[in-house]
Amino acid sequence: MIFRQLFDATSGTYTYLIASRRGGEALIIDPVLEKVDRYLQLVRDLDVKLVKAIDTHLHADHITGLGALRDRTQCVTVMGEQTKADVVSIRVAEGDTVDVEGIALEALYTPGHTDDSYSYLMQDRVFTGDTLLIRGTGRTDFQNGDPRAQYESIFNKLLKLPTETLVYPAHDYKGDTVSTIGEERACNPRLQVKSVDEYVDLMNNLKLANPKMMDVAVPANIHVGLAQDDVAHREWTLDIAEALALMGNPDVAFVDLREAKERCKHGVIPNSLHAPYVDLMENVHAGGMLYELARATSRRLLFYCAFGERSAMAVRAAQGAGLGSACHIKGGINAWKKAGGPLNT
């Protein structure tokens, strides 16, 4: 396995790049905007393909690298379903897995630091975001933070993991890089409390200054979506009413870009093809399934995904491959569902 812990000294952020092998797919956790060139260099050096970028929560102390990585690698962005970020490709809930080739991360909903905080469990290690830090815990005094929820997340979820589980946090300001669940249970000063009330009291009296970057980072991190205003005004972006009107039209092929488990969970537009986003480039170029379908039948490709981000990227890729009529559904299945569009479940 390839496992790299990268550090941004300005914000004290740890970023993790993980792949199962050289030449394979990779994912990145909590990338920092200013370090994106460094990550992409490492991706090339290690000969891996970045396919997913995850933020454990909406950060207040640095601007996320999610949008820049998506724009430069066409990777899929991932956050929790509670996030206020405008558009991410995949929104996970408790128990969902985030997969790339040879790797599965289990999403654990661990609110408290923010209400969109997730931890990710991978075999012998857990990425705890700002929920559980080494000898500390993430502050709970802004962004819908809640010390009571954090107590639950830590004591009833993270500390229930096996003692030897490695703890990889999103930050450290002292130079520590890794800990274990057992070590934190025994030595983390914030966790030496007798009750939830004692913990709440402790967290409510920390009297911390707001992070320096907060006024810049939070608004920026809410708008990570693929220049949505720009995308929305293109003629290749169809709203739900326009897409509904094309159902059953023999000249249009609805193409679902989501992963199999997203389809199971949220349903599928009847009579649509399944062409997962990860294989998109292969599919839209000469010889690929979608390219040949569009060319042989003159059908217009109508892409859709969960929220409209992958599908907007797919339109650009298809147009680049010569399929000029490709279009997509604004807001994806999420908007389709809200409008009462038909779904097979």
The position carrying tokens 């559904």 is 329
Q: Residue count at the site for Fe ion (CB under 5 A)? A: 2
- Would you say the C-alpha torsion 96, 81, 232, 31 has a positive or negative sign? negative
Contact 15, 61 (CB under 8 A): no
Span 10-69, contacts to Fe ion by CB under 5 A: 59
Sketch the per residue contact string, 114 through 133, with Fe ion: x for CB under 5 A, - otherwise.
----------------x---
User: CB of 158: closest distance to Fe ion in angstroms?
Assistant: 16
- Helix (H) / strand (E) element for 44: namely helix 36-45
User: CB of 213: closest distance to Fe ion in angstroms?
Assistant: 11
> Considering only CA atoms, which of 130, 134, 127 is closest in space to residue 107?
127
How far lies 337's CA from each of 198, 241, 252, 267, 334, in Å?
A: 44, 12, 20, 9, 5
How far lies 326's CA from each of 29, 171, 252, 256, 298, in Å?
A: 32, 42, 10, 13, 11
* Closest CB to Fe ion among residues 143, 283: 143
* Closest CB to Fe ion among residues 115, 130: 130
User: CB of 175: closest distance to Fe ion in angstroms?
Assistant: 19
User: CB of 57: closest distance to Fe ion in angstroms?
Assistant: 6
User: CB of 36: closest distance to Fe ion in angstroms?
Assistant: 19
CA distance 31 to 85: 15
Shortest Cβ contact with Fe ion: which residue?
Answer: 130
Span 143-162, contacts to Fe ion by CB under 5 A: none
CB crowding 70-97: b at 16 or more within 10 Å, else e: beebbbbbbbbebbebebbbbbbeeebe
* Closest CB to Fe ion among residues 129, 341: 129
Q: Does residue 8 interact with Fe ion by CB under 5 A?
A: no
- Give the single-character DSSP code of 79: E
* Closest CB to Fe ion among residues 77, 221: 221
* Closest CB to Fe ion among residues 28, 238: 28
Applying CB under 5 A, the residues found at the interface with Fe ion are 59, 130
